[in-house]
Amino acid sequence: DQQVKQNSPSLSVQEGRISILNCDYTNSMFDYFLWYKKYPAEGPTFLISISSIKDKNEDGRFTVFLNKSAKHLSLHIVPSQPGDSAVYFCAAPRRDAGNMLTFGGGTRLMVKP
Amino acid sequence: NAGVMQNPRHLVRRRGQEARLRCSPMKGHSHVYWYRQLPEEGLKFMVYLQKENIIDESGMPKERFSAEFPKEGPSILRIQQVVRGDSAAYFCASSRPGTGGHEQYFGPGTRLTVT
Q: How far apart are CA B92 and CA B29, in angstroms?
A: 12
Mutate to test the interface with A, among B7, B106, B111 (most CBs of A within 10 A): B106
Q: Which of A113, A79, A83, A105 is nearest to A22 (CA)?
A: A105
Tell me: the pLDDT tens digits for B79-91? 999 999 999 999 9
- Please compute the mean of the pLDDT values over residues A58-86 and round it to a whole number: 97
Instruction: Note whether B100 contacts A104, CB cutoff 8 Å.
Output: no
Is residue B49 within 8 A of residue B75, CB to CB? The reply is yes
Q: Which of A57, A51, A48 is nearest to A88 (CA)?
A: A48
Predicted pLDDT of residue B78:
98
Instruction: Note whether A98 contacts B55, CB cutoff 8 Å.
Output: yes
Whether the predicted pLDDT of A41 surpasses 90: no
Q: Report the mean per-residue pLDDT for chain A.
A: 94
Predicted pLDDT of residue B92:
97
- Please compute the mean of the pLDDT values over residues A54-71 and round it to a whole number: 97
**β-strand partners of A101:** A93
Mapping DSSP onto H, E and C, the string for chain B reads CCCCEEECCEEEECCCCCEEEEEECCCCCCEEEEEEECCCCCEEEEEEEECCEEEECCCCCCCCEEEECCCCCCEEEEECCCCHHHCEEEEEEEECCCCCCCCCEECCCEEEEEC
Contacts with A89 from chain B: Cβ below 8 Å: 42-43
B17-31 in b/e burial notation, b at 16+ Cβ within 10 A? Answer: eebebbbbbbeebeb
Question: Percent of chain B scored above 70 by pLDDT?
Answer: 95
Instruction: Note whether A45 contacts B109, CB cutoff 8 Å.
Output: no
Q: What is the SS3 assignment for A82?
A: helix
Whether the predicted pLDDT of B8 surpasses 90: yes
Predicted pLDDT of residue B104:
87
Q: How far apart are CA A82 and CA A40, in angstroms?
A: 15
Whether the predicted pLDDT of B25 surpasses 70: yes
Q: Report the mean per-residue pLDDT for chain B.
A: 92
Q: Is A98 on the interface with B (CB under 8 A)?
A: yes
- Please compute the mean of the pLDDT values over residues A32-54 and round it to a whole number: 93
Band the pLDDT of B101: cuts 50, 70, 90.
Answer: low
